[in-house]
Amino acid sequence: MSEALRIGIAGLGTVGSAVVRLFVEKAEMLIRQCRCPLQIVAVSARHRRRERNINLDSFIWYDNPEELAASADINVFIELIGGESGSAYRAVKLALEAGRHVVTANKALLAHHGVELAQLAESKGLLLNFEAAVAGGIPVIKILRESLSGSKTSRVYGILNGTCNYILTQMEEKELSFQECLKNAQDLGYAEADPSFDIEGNDTAHKLALLTSLAFGTVISLDNIYVEGIRNISLVDIRTADELGCRIKLLGVAVKTNTGIEQRVHPIMVPTSSAIAQVKGVTNAVAIETDLLGELFLSGAGAGGNATASAVIADIADIAKSHPGFQHGPVFGIPANTLKPYTKSKTRAHTGGYFIRLSVQDRIGTFSSLTKRMAENDISLESIVQRPAAETQTMHESKTVVLITHQTTEATLRKALTAITQDGNLIDKAQMIRIERYC
């Protein structure tokens, strides 16, 4: 039997409280599975007296998470504070320096400091587990880190933010505006404290950066992700997508190209018949394409107390099951100091069909000038139609025009859109949504 685990938890929000409650409920099962005594001995949170429906009496209380991290009371530190720097960063670093294994659900922290923290953990022979940081309860980190040895990954993509997927699903099913759906998501407690993190795509980008590193063995490269959120998606876009046999999803995509790795987060029209289009509400999904396995598709609860706590507890159990003195597996699958430098694929190399929504002046010649600019740039159009005005469109003399292109490159399309904008026909910024057929 391995050494007893003495666990300290910093952060008792929804996830931290669920971890404490589930530990009590499942203590016997965990001890049987891990064949090792494991118990929470200390906790830390911002407010000691807040109502959490859990009994904290038997735990040592720390006002300061950094003191808990380095304390001799514990040998495993669970960081559920959140935030890319500040207390979470200092506490994790202190815990590793003091020789404590670490479990964290903090995607922002790892997206910014993951390689540094992994090197520190590995140099000390410690585990730094982070299953809960990506896609809530879906065990995708373990799969990428441990289960695909021998396979070569070519693409990873997924719905990594429950709030955005909930909003897009509600817009489609209830015909509600973006703002109404965002308010519902906030009322239900799905969104981050600052919901712009969800809807602008940053939360998805943090999670994608970690998946990319695991999938391709490169250093984490958050700055090289093209990020576009869902704030500008209107009901016209959702309805037109439906008519085209598509749904709009906010996807994080990482692809290995001939020139490097392409990472992007943006709304994508995917065929309604695809597996990813069936993922609704706060559910998350990740697809991994490899040479040996084809596409592996995982979906499940991406947020919420129990689902995220399930991943935290599985990470703790992995620490309990590891043998003392045994060389632990590297944090990102290969030793952190051997992760390859990140090579960004050539910008604008992305090729595909595009949905373009334009708010144009309602006057003679507008259609012909739009098609002329497309033709000048060798862009073949699948269709061009006039639609009812977008709900955000107020000017009486304006009209909504939707163009669907055949395969073209993003650079070519942007060139055509610049020319269209310069022609002075547009009332608003053009909406461009990529149509992906690989899903």
- Indicate which residues carry an active-site annotation: 207
**Smallest separation (angstroms) from ligand HSE to the CB of 281:** 11
Q: What residues contact residue 268 under an 8 Å CB cut-off, 6+ apart?
A: 248, 249, 250, 251, 253, 433, 434, 435, 436, 439
HSE-CB of 136 using CA atoms within 13 angstroms: 24
**Smallest separation (angstroms) from ligand HSE to the CB of 273:** 25
Beta-bridge mates of residue 431:
357
Q: Which of 16, 114, 162, 252 forms a contact with ligand HSE (CB under 6 A)?
A: 162
Give the range of 143-151, 155-163, 239-247, 380-388 binding ligand HSE by CB under 6 A. Answer: 155-163
Task: Answer yes or no whether residue 104 interacts with ligand HSE by CB under 6 A.
Answer: no
Determine how β-strand 225-227 pairs with β-strand 260-271: parallel
Task: Answer yes or no whether residue 106 interacts with ligand HSE by CB under 6 A.
Answer: no
Give the range of 149-157, 160-168, 170-178, 391-399 binding ligand HSE by CB under 6 A. Answer: 160-168
Q: Please, what sign has the CA dihedral across residues 263, 87, 200, 413?
A: negative
Report the alpha-carbon distance of residue 415 to residue 425 in Å, rounded. Answer: 16
Give the range of 86-94, 157-165, 290-298, 391-399 binding ligand HSE by CB under 6 A. Answer: 157-165
**Smallest separation (angstroms) from ligand HSE to the CB of 11:** 14
Which whole-number Å values give the CA distances from 268 to 40, 73, 434, in the listed order? 43, 49, 5
Task: Answer yes or no whether residue 79 interacts with ligand HSE by CB under 6 A.
Answer: no
Tokens representing 419?
Answer: 């020319």
Task: Answer yes or no whether residue 11 interacts with ligand HSE by CB under 6 A.
Answer: no
Residues 88-112: b if buried by 16+ CB within 10 A, e if exposed:
bbebbbbbbebebbbbbbbbbbbbb
Give the range of 72-80, 87-95, 143-151, 158-166 binding ligand HSE by CB under 6 A. Answer: 158-166
Report the alpha-carbon distance of residue 362 to residue 78 in Å, rounded. Answer: 59
Closest to ligand HSE by CB, 230 or 288: 230
Task: Answer yes or no whether residue 198 interacts with ligand HSE by CB under 6 A.
Answer: yes
Number of residues that bind ligand HSE (CB under 6 A): 10
In 113-220, DSSP assigns E strands to 128-129, 153-159
Q: Which of 190, 216, 342, 355 forms a contact with ligand HSE (CB under 6 A)?
A: 190
Work out the widest C-alpha separation in the chain, in whole angstroms. 81
Give the range of 159-167, 245-253, 324-332, 398-406 binding ligand HSE by CB under 6 A. Answer: 159-167
Closest to ligand HSE by CB, 2 or 14: 14
**Smallest separation (angstroms) from ligand HSE to the CB of 84:** 13
Closest to ligand HSE by CB, 75 or 299: 299
**Smallest separation (angstroms) from ligand HSE to the CB of 389:** 31
Report the alpha-carbon distance of residue 439 to residue 338 in Å, rounded. Answer: 32
**Smallest separation (angstroms) from ligand HSE to the CB of 320:** 25
Which whole-number Å values give the CA distances from 28 to 22, 93, 199, 323, in the listed order? 11, 31, 41, 20
Burial level of 273, CB count in 10 A (0-12/13-18/19+)?
Answer: exposed
Report the alpha-carbon distance of residue 161 to residue 267 in Å, rounded. Answer: 12
**Smallest separation (angstroms) from ligand HSE to the CB of 207:** 7
Q: Which of 71, 129, 161, 408 forms a contact with ligand HSE (CB under 6 A)?
A: 161
Q: Which residue matches tokens 């003495």?
A: 6
Task: Answer yes or no whether residue 303 interacts with ligand HSE by CB under 6 A.
Answer: yes
Report the alpha-carbon distance of residue 211 to residue 218 in Å, rounded. Answer: 10
Closest to ligand HSE by CB, 315 or 410: 315
Beta-bridge mates of residue 128:
102
Tokens representing 93?
Answer: 């670093």
Task: Answer yes or no whether residue 73 interacts with ligand HSE by CB under 6 A.
Answer: no
Task: Answer yes or no whether residue 302 interacts with ligand HSE by CB under 6 A.
Answer: yes
Task: Answer yes or no whether residue 201 interacts with ligand HSE by CB under 6 A.
Answer: no
Task: Answer yes or no whether residue 20 interacts with ligand HSE by CB under 6 A.
Answer: no
Interacting residue ranges for ligand HSE, rule: CB under 6 A: 161-163, 190-192, 198, 203, 302-303
